[in-house]
Amino acid sequence: MPIYEYQCKDCQHTFEQLVFQNDHSPVCCPRCNSEKVTRLMSASSIFSSTSGLGHCAAPAGGGFS
């Protein structure tokens, strides 16, 4: 279930939306309710901006191997 970043073409509002795999309903802008949105390219959430590049932001023992 990825979180995508979108920008509304009508009001230019930028927002994030959790998208479920089998959900095919249109994404609407939460500010103006327009369906004219564009999915943006965004940075991965694995790296934290405060931890420095190359350090995983997940806590130790978080189930990753």
pLDDT in tens, 33-60: 999 999 998 666 555 455 455 544 555 5
Please give the average per-residue pLDDT across 29-33, as a whole number: 97
This prediction's pTM: 0.61
Q: Which residue has the higher pLDDT, 4 or 58?
A: 4
Beta strands in 1-65 (DSSP E): 3-8, 14-18, 37-40
The CA–CA distances, whole Å, from 31 to 2, 10, 17, 22, 34 equal 21, 10, 13, 25, 8
